[in-house]
Amino acid sequence: MPKTFAKDWYFLVSTSSQIANITAIADAVEQNNSRQFFASTSSKEDLAAIHAKKYTRTTMFYHTTTDNYPEAAWLGAAASAAVGSITWKFKTLKGTTPLDIDTTELNEIHDLGANTYVTKAGDDVTSEGKTVSGEYIDIIHAQDYLVFSIQYAIQKLLNRSPKVRYDNTGIAQLEAEVRTVLKRADLNGMIAHDENGLALFSTHFKSRSDVDPADREKREYNDGSFQFEQAGAIHTAAIKGTIVL
C-alpha cells in the first residue's frame, strides 16, 4: 500500500466491506495524510469500532445494501467537481435506494461517524458529507488541493526558470505563484468574501534583507506564508417569521 501513494490518485474505494480490510486501508491512508478513503458497511457494530479510530481521511457510508457500492456512486456524483465548488451533502446517487428510516436512526448513524442516503423534500440525497472524525469531506479536499497546487506551482517555476534569483524579484515570483493558486481557489468557491465582495486571503513573504543569512547561504527560502478564510457551506437553516392575524 505505501508505494501506491507515489502514484497519481486521490480518492480510494475498497471492494471489501470487512472491517479488518477497511481499518487496514484506513490506517495507511491516515498515516500518509494526503488522500481520502471511502468505504461502506451494513453493520452498525463495525461503524462503532471504526468511529473509535477517529479517522479524518476515511469516510464511511452506511446502507443495508452495500454490494452495489453506494460510496462509489457518491464519488461518481461528487469527486469530479472542481475542488471547493460543492458540498458532499445533498447529492443524488445513481443505483442507490434511499433508506426508509426515522430521525432517531438517522442521528444514530451520524453519531457513529457515518453518512447514509435518505429522502428529503421529495429528493433522494446523501444525509451528510463528513469523514469519520466529523470533519467535512470538502474541507479536507480543499486543504489537500492547496498544498499540492502550491507545491506544484513552485516546483514548476523552479523547473522552467534559468534561475530564481535570491533577491526581492525572485521572492516576488514565488509569491505570485502562491497568489495565483489562491485566486483559482477563490474562483472555485473555496474562499469566503467580505462585505465588499473581496476574497479573504493574504500572503506574506519576507524580503531578502529580512531572511536569515544562513538560509540564503543554503539557497533555501523559508519565509513565505498565506492565510485565507474558507467559505464552507450552509447545510441547515432556521428561518424565523411572524404571522400577523
Averaged in consecutive runs of 10 residues, what is the pLDDT profile of the chain (245 residues)? 78 93 96 96 97 97 95 96 95 96 97 97 97 97 95 98 97 98 96 96 97 97 96 94 95
DSSP 76: H
Predicted confidence at residue 8, as pLDDT, reads: 85
pLDDT tens for each residue of 4-53 = 787 889 999 988 999 999 999 999 999 999 999 999 999 999 999 999 99
Predicted confidence at residue 2, as pLDDT, reads: 61
Q: b/e for 31-47, b at 16 or more Cβ within 10 A?
A: eeeebbbbbbbeeeebb
* Cell 498544498 -> residue: 147
Which three three-digit cell numbers place residue 120?
Answer: 428529503
Strands (E), the chain: 11-13, 36-41, 58-62, 114-115, 117-120, 123-126, 201-205, 224-228
Q: Using CA atoms, how far apart are residues 93 and 74, in angstroms rounded to an integer?
A: 6
Domain range list for the chain = 2-135, 138-228
The chain-wide mean pLDDT, for the chain, equals: 96
Q: b/e for 181-194, b at 16 or more Cβ within 10 A?
A: bbebbbebbbbeee
Could you tell me the pTM of the whole model? 0.90
3-state secondary structure of 85: coil
How far lies 109's CA from each of 50, 122, 194, in Å?
12, 21, 36
Predicted confidence at residue 45, as pLDDT, reads: 97
Closest CA to 88 of 138, 50, 53, 123: 138
